[in-house]
Structures are given as C-alpha cells and as structure tokens.
A and B are shown apart, each in its own frame.
Chain A
Amino acid sequence: MAEITTLAEAVAGLVGDGDLVALEGFTHLIPFAAAHEILRQGRRRLTLARMTPDVIYDQMIGMGAAERLIFSWGGNPGVGSLHRLRDAVERGWPVPLALEEHSHAGMANRYVAGASGLPMAVLRGYRGTDLGRVTPTVATVTCPFTGEELTAVPALNPDLTVVHAQQADRQGNVQLWGITGVQREAVLAATRSLVTVEEVVDRLEPRSGSVVLPGWVVTVVAVVPGGAHPSYASGYSTRDNAFYRDWDAISRQRERFTSWMREHVLG
C-alpha cells in the first residue's frame, strides 16, 4: 500500500543527488509540480530520463539540476527549440550536459525491458542511422530462430519514476486515463515511484482504456491538484498551449529564464 503524503515530504524522501530519475508523461499528465519541488529542494547531478524532455526538463536543465540526459526527442512540441537544453549542450550553461539519445521506439522498449525484469529489449530499429555510432546503448543481435539481425537496447531502470495521474484511492491505488504514454512501464521499471494525483477518491470508478497501478507497486502518492500544468490532466484540465508558446520567449535568454524560475517556481 502506497504512503499518501505531501509533495515536499515525498520528494525529500525519494530523490537524492546523483539519482537516475524519470519524470514521464507523453504530452499529457506531465508531473511539473514534482519537478518544481525537486528544484526547490536543490537536487543536483541528476541523470534525467524522459522520452520527450519538453518544457519540464528545459526548466530542470536550465537550473543546473542535471548532468546527464537520456531521451529521444528534445523540443517544445509545435513551437520549436528547448533553449535551455540547447544552451547546456551547445555552451555548457549552467553546467555541461551529457546526452544519451535514442529513438522513441528504443526508449519505449527500454522501459518495457525494465518493467519486464529483462536485461534488454529487441526491436527492428535505428536502421542506417548514426544513432548507433554515438549512443553506446544501441547494439545489434541476431535472432537465434530466423537469423534476422535486430537492434538491442538495454533495460532502463530508474532509481525513481515520477508520474502524474488523475486519481488515487485511500489505499494508494492509482488510475490514469487518456493518453497514458509509457507511464505504466516507467513506474514498473523503477526502484521507487512517486505519483502525484489530482485528487484522492473513496473508490476508483473503472474507466475505459485506463491504466491502474495497484498501491503496492507505488511507493508514495502526493495530492497535487493542477500538478501537470502547463500540461494537462484529461477530465480535469486542458493543455495550456499558450504557455508552451510563451515559454519560447521566457526561456530564450538566461537572465529572463532565471528570474522567471525564481519568481514562479523557487518562490
């Protein structure tokens, strides 16, 4: 049974400097509030894993919380660049950022292997690309049954996975619905997990297409209404597309970014 506590207590107990942390959510249900709490608590030297680093990791990277990024697509969807990610990679500001990059198919399968307790996943991927040349965690294997040459990627097992969900019940069972991305796999692949939720309800009503995480595979639940903003929680909020557009100007210059983070996140 998952412990239900405050976000500050949850982050204090679950995140250490140097940890491999995955904050997942594919456009939908991105755990922004948890990322902000990690920043307020001053965690450093994190390895951040996430398929789509998005604005959430732009903020964490820009504040110097990460030394390494494992990812597959680092942009502001439909808007353009992540300027803080680019500044860290192109100019080492505020600290250098090492990259381990994959394709979406590779990252998704790395979580699947992690959740399955397997050392690696096999896929038909990365064909003819330079990714295998620059990313040591891409290799080839030969199928013992057909002889086909396939791509292998190692399991990704975060120290901590953080996701946002719509609901938990009082035993810490969690339900999320809408676009559920890779969250089930990312939680099951991790040593520890934190789920922020819109609300705690007496009873989870079954919903079509939902993902249910039994409380005994979740370490901690914290109630954070609106905790996915500017991403969204289907049934509770809509994506704040205007903020994603505004982020381009907020994040373009170091000083404006830093003062914005001080005012809106660090508090």
Chain B
Amino acid sequence: MAEGGYSADEMMTVAAARRLADGDVCLAGIGLPSLAANLARRLHAPECVLVYESGTIGSKPRVPPLSIGDGELADTADAVVSVPEIFNYWLQAGRIDVGFLGAAQIDRHAALNTTVIGPYESPTVRLPGAGGAPEIASSARRVIVVLRHSLRAFVERLDFRTSVPGDGPTAVITDLGVLEAGPGDRELILTAVHQGVAVDDVRAATGWDLRVAPAVDVTPPPATAELDALRAMTA
C-alpha cells in the first residue's frame, strides 16, 4: 500500500479507467486493460461499449472476466459475432474508438513486445505472442497501454516488435505516471506523474532518455468511489 491507503497498481488501474470517455467503443485485452475498462463502466462511463476479441459486442459483465471468452461476456452482450467478423468488420473497418493493451516491453515510440524476451530463435522467455494486439494497435482510433514501469519493461530496444500503434492518440498509463505520444515523431512524453512520484523516479525506471513535458501534471489520487468500485471488482 502506498501512502494514503491505496496501492500503486490501484492508482494505475484508476488512471487508466479515467482515460475512457462515456460512449467510447473499447476493445480491451484480458487482465489489467479489461479490468480498467470495466471499472470505467462502473464509474463515469456507463455507456462505454466493451468489445472482446472472442466476438462479444456490448458486454456488461457483473464480475470481471478471467478470460476474454467467459460465458458472462456472451450472456450480457448486445451481439455475439464470429472471430473473423470481429477483426474484419468491427476492428479493421474502423468501428473501435479505443484499443486497450498490455505488454511485456515497450519502447520510446510505444511499440510493444508480447512475443519473446531474448532472440526469437532461442528465447530466454517465450511470451504468449501477438493475439489481437497488432491490429488493435494499428486500427483503433486511440490506443491506451497499461503496464508497470520498470527498466525491464521500458527498454531502449525491443527484443521483438509485436505491435505498433497507428497515427492516433496514444497514451501509456503506468504505476508511476502517464506518457503520451508527442507530435511529429510520436516519441512518448511524460505528461503526468501520480501523486507522490517524482519525475526522476520515472526517469530511473525508463530505459531511454525520457522526454518530459514542460509542465508535468500530478494525477489526482483515487477517489473513495473509484477505490470502492475497483475493490468490489477484485475482491
């Protein structure tokens, strides 16, 4: 627990949930992204449309799913379509506002690695692979990445480029702060730190020379309602 009675992970999840606007159509990967998207629906974005790769559109799960194909997601959906249809008609055709992703590694341009640590042909760690992420990253209008900040994750050079965000707004939410793709070369810029975190803390956990916005915001800590909703989901 951090000072003030909440953990850094809880701050990260709440900060990620705040990035979703009411009415956004959001395709979320399983784990932290799905948890944050479901939290947003319980708070400020009740009309946020949750789409899952398994083919469920408009899912309203009462408990957070363990997998993206839990029966709860289909039973509470507006429509259930095939997997080719989700990727072709809904994602590729531009019907997804927000792609919500996690990653094992990220670089300064928010390219993501979920494939291997080490060389591809003889990896030290074989990760799950691409899944839906390459096309979610390139076809969603906005991309939000959620991952914990560390030198292992924020690397100068990815071991493998699995997914590369498109030209739309890209934000990276970590347990330390918020980074956003800047104009021009789209390099990530630190635009906010969570309360109690110093800019130098973020620099120390980033494996490249981090760009920092002229005025760095401080993320408001989780409100009681946000924490209560999150804890009710994860209890």
Contact = CB atoms under 8 A, between A and B. Distances in A.
A82 B129 CA distance: 12
A243 B189 CA distance: 42
Contact of B126 (A85, A125, A211): A85
| B interface, size bucket | 35 or more
A234 interface: yes
A203 interface: no
B127 to A, nearest CB: 8
Interface stretch (B117-125, B192-200, B209-217, B222-230): B117-125
A27 B54 contact: yes
Nearest to B92: A124
Nearest to B131: A73
A72 B162 CA distance: 11
B55 A89 contact: no
A221 B205 CA distance: 56
B69 A27 contact: yes
A78 B65 contact: yes
Interface string A77-91: 111011001100110
Contact of B134 (A85, A86, A103, A180): A103
Interface stretch (B1-9, B16-24, B79-87, B145-153): B79-87
Given A75-B128, A123-B92, A232-B71, A185 B160 contact: no
Given A27-B67, A130-B160, A181 B83 contact: yes
Contacts, number: 170
B105 interface: no
A182 B69 CA distance: 13
B68 interface: yes
A129 B162 contact: yes
B201 to A, nearest CB: 28
B34 to A, nearest CB: 9
Contacts of B122: 90
Contacts of B73: 179
A111 B83 CA distance: 11
Contact of A239 (B71, B91, B134): B71
B54 A26 contact: yes
Contacts of A125: 92, 134-135, 138
A74 B161 CA distance: 17
Contact of A128 (B80, B115, B164): B164
B82 A184 contact: yes
Nearest to A185: B84
Given A26-B54, A108-B83, A101 B70 contact: no
Contact of B131 (A90, A104, A232): A104
Contact of A181 (B54, B70, B162): B54
B218 interface: no
B67 A244 contact: yes
A134 interface: yes
A22 interface: no
Contact of B71 (A26, A105, A123, A238): A238
A44 B129 CA distance: 25
A72 B131 contact: yes
Contacts of A102: 130
B129 A181 contact: no
Given A77-B69, A239-B70, A28 B54 contact: yes
B235 interface: no
B124 A90 contact: yes
B163 interface: yes
Nearest to B55: A179
B80 A101 contact: no
Given A78-B30, A128-B138, A239-B66, 10 more contacts: A27-B69, A28-B74, A77-B66, A123-B88, A124-B92, A130-B120, A178-B74, A181-B83, A238-B71, A241-B66
20 contacts: A26-B83, A27-B54, A74-B129, A102-B130, A103-B130, A104-B135, A105-B92, A105-B135, A108-B83, A124-B138, A127-B134, A129-B134, A134-B120, A179-B56, A181-B55, A181-B82, A181-B83, A239-B67, A241-B67, A241-B70
The 6 closest A-B pairs by CB, nearest first: A27-B69, A75-B128, A128-B164, A73-B131, A77-B67, A78-B66
Interface of B: 30-31, 53-56, 65-71, 73-75, 79-80, 82-84, 87-88, 91-92, 111, 115, 120, 122-135, 138-139, 160-164, 166
